[in-house]
Structure 1
Amino acid sequence: MVDGFTSGLHDMKEDVFLGYLNSLKQQAPDNFLDFLMNYKPGNTTTGLDNMEMTCLQWIKKPWSHKLVWLLYVEIAICKYGWSPKLSEIGSKALAKYYDSFDISWQLISSTPYYATRNAETVKFLQKLANTSNSCPSGMLTSTSRKTTELLLRTLQHDGLYATLKLLIPHDSAERIAHFESHPLKRINLSLQSRPGYIKIDDANLYYLWICIIVFYLTRRLPHQYYASFWTDRLGKARIQKLTANQMLGIDWTSLRKEPLATEEQVVVASILLDLLKYFNSKIHGMKKGKEKDKQLGYFMSVVWTLMDFMKHLDYMTTQQL
C-alpha cells in the first residue's frame, strides 16, 4: 500500500524508522501481510488496536515525524476503511503536515469510488498549484515534480483514461483511451490545452508524456518511474549527444516484441507529433541561452523518438496522420 515512505528518510534516520516498523510488525495480526498483499480500497481488517495505540503514542511525542503520522494513517486506512473516522484522522495528519504528499496520496488512493478519487485528486492538484502561485518562482520545480508524480501514481492506480482526463480536454482523452472504438480516425490533441491546476515545467511534461506512451502500449510504467534525475539529465544533456542516449526517449525495439496495432500507431504518432509542435513553438523566436538549449534538448529528444518510431509505422497509418 505504501508508495512513499522512503521519500521522507532523508530527514529522519533510517534505522530509527525501521525500528518503528519492526515494533509495529510484532504487534500485527497473523493475517495482516496477506491483507496488505490483497488490499483493495475500502477493505478493512481486525486486530489492529495495539498498532493504532502505539502510533497514537508516537505522534504525541515531541520527536514525532511525518513518517510516524503516515504510519498512523496507514493503520487507520486498514482498520476503518473509507469512513468518517478515517477522514477525521486524515484531517489531523494534514493539519500537522499540510504539504505532505504521501499522506494526501494515501487518503486519495484509499477511496473505493473512482469519482471521489478523481475529485480528491483534482483538489490536491489545485492545492499544489495554489502553493506555487503564492511562493517564489523556485517552488515551481518542486510543484512540477509533485504534480508529475501524482499524475503518474494516478496512471498506475486508475489507468490511462482517468489520467488523461486530468491533463487534456475530455474528447481528446476519449479518443486516445478508446481510439479503436471511436468513429473518427484522427486525433486532434493540443498539449497547450491543459487545466490551470496542472503546474508542470517542460522537463516533467516531456517525461510525463513519454511515460504515458509507454503505459499505453505496455500497461505498465517505465522502470525509472519516478526519477527526478532523469529530467535533470535531460535538461543538461548536450544536444549532439541526445540521439545516442536512448534513456531520453523510447527504445521501440525493446518495448514490445509484437507489432503495434494500427490504432496504437496512430495514437503514439499523434502524441509525439503534438509534443514536437509544442516544443517547436517554445523555441521559436527564443534568444540563445541556457533556456533555449534546454528547449532544444526536449525538441531533439522528441525528434529522435519520433524518427525511430517511424520505422514501425504501416503505410496506411501514415495516411491518417
Structure 2
Amino acid sequence: MQTFLEFEKPIAELEGKIEELRHLTDAGELNIADEVGKLQVKVDKLLRSTYAKLTAAQKVQVARHPSRPHCLDYVEGLIEDFTPLAGDRHFAEDAAVVGGLGRFRGRSVVVIGQEKGHDTESRVRHNFGMAKPEGYRKAQRLMQMAERFSLPVVSLVDTAGAFPGVQAEERGQAEAIAKSIETCLRIGVPLVSAVIGEGGSGGAIAIATADRVLMLEHAIYSVISPEGCASILWRSSDMAGEAATALRLTSQDLKELGVIDRVVQEPIGGAHRAPDETVTALGDAIEESLRELDGQDAATLRRRRREKFLEMGQKGLG
C-alpha cells in the first residue's frame, strides 16, 4: 500500500479516484479508460510540479520515506554473488552495518552500508540503521581487507546517526567513528560513497570520507538532525522546518558548497515510487565514478582524498 506524505495529499486524492475508477472497470461495470488516462496525466503533472519545488523540510520527509529503497535493496539490485561478512573481531556483530564481497558490473568490490530495515522486525534487528562501535570497527576491517586484496570500496550511507546509547559510549563510539574516518583516508584503493537516504552526522561520514561522494536528489546529509538542531537552538522541535533550511542539508545545497561531488536524479515523485529505476540510476553513477578512479595508484588516491577534505575545511574557515 502506497504511503503518502503530508504534502502529497492532493496527489493521494487523485490517485484514490483512479483506483476507484479502475475498480469499477475491473468489475465490468464501466469502461472509463479515457477518464483514468486524463486523471493519470494530472497526477504526473502534479507530481512533477510538487517535487520540483520541495522545501528542505519536505526533502527530509522524502529521505525518511518508509518505502524508499535501503542498502540491501541496492545490494540485491547491483551486486552479484554477494557474500556478507560479519563481526568486528573484537566484540560482536552489528546488524546496522552490512558489508561483504561481491561483483559490481564485472568488477569485484567490497560493499559497506547502513541498513534501516523495512518492517518492524527488520528495523529492530538492524537497530534502525544506527550503528554501535562494533559496526564501525567492522567497516574498518572490511576496508582494510579491500586494500589487502586491491578491491575498490562502495559505501551506501543511510542513517539518522550513530547509536547514542550509554553502552555505545562505554565501548568507545567516538573513537570507533574517528578510526573509521581515518581508515577511509588511509586505504590505497578507490572509495566511492553514496548517500541514499539520511546522512546523519559522524555516523554517516564514518564511511563517506571518499574519493567520490554521490547523493540521491532527495537524500539529506547533515551534522545534526533538524529536530536535534531545533531543540538546541530554539528549545523546541517545532522549529525543525526552519532548522532544516538553515542546515543546508539538501543535495543541491551540498553540491553548491562542494561537500558532495554529484547529485543523482531520482524518478519523478521520489525513489520510493520507482525503486528499481533508482537502483539502476545510482548503479550507473557508481560505475562512472569507479571508472574515473581507474589507474590511480595508492599514493595518488590517498593524497587527493586528503586534499579534498582539507580544502573543505579551508573553505569553511574562509
Question: What TM-score, normalized by structure 2, do the two folds share?
Answer: 0.28
Question: What TM-score, normalized by structure 1, do the two folds share?
Answer: 0.28
Structure number with the higher strand fraction is 2
Greater radius of gyration (CA): 1
Structure number with the higher helix fraction is 1
Greater relative CO (CA pairs within 8 A, separation 6+): 2
